[in-house]
Amino acid sequence: MVFTDGSVCSPGSAGLVGCGACAAVLYPTSQENCGLWIKTHAVGTRVSSEKCETEGILLGIEMAIQHMKETNIKGVTESIYIFCDC
């Protein structure tokens, strides 16, 4: 299960464009629960909120793939759920 979010800080411009970042939190639901994985990423300056949200989803997908590679058990199939607020 992955939760993602992106945000823009833009003083004086109503949050349309500014400095942006994103984050993703992966919560393994399998039996070999190895704790939370948390990653953040600076998206850039003069970016939109949509760009930050999209980058957060991509970060979450990358984390899920990495988790699946590291915990791959032959014959076991898992579903990945990504939750975002966009």
In a domain, 23, yes or no: yes
Handedness of CA 22, 58, 39, 44 (dihedral sign): negative
pLDDT in tens, 40-81: 999 998 899 899 999 999 999 999 999 888 877 666 677 889
Contact 32, 21 (CB under 8 A): no
Q: What's the total number of domains in the chain?
A: 1
For position 82, what pLDDT does the model report? 93
Answering whether pTM is above 0.85, one says: no
What is the pLDDT, as a whole number, of residue 73? 67
Residue 83 lies in a domain: no
In a domain, 84, yes or no: no
Give the count of beta carbons closer than 10 Å to the beta carbon of residue 49: 17
Residue 53 domain-assigned (yes or no): yes
Decide if 79 is inside a domain: no
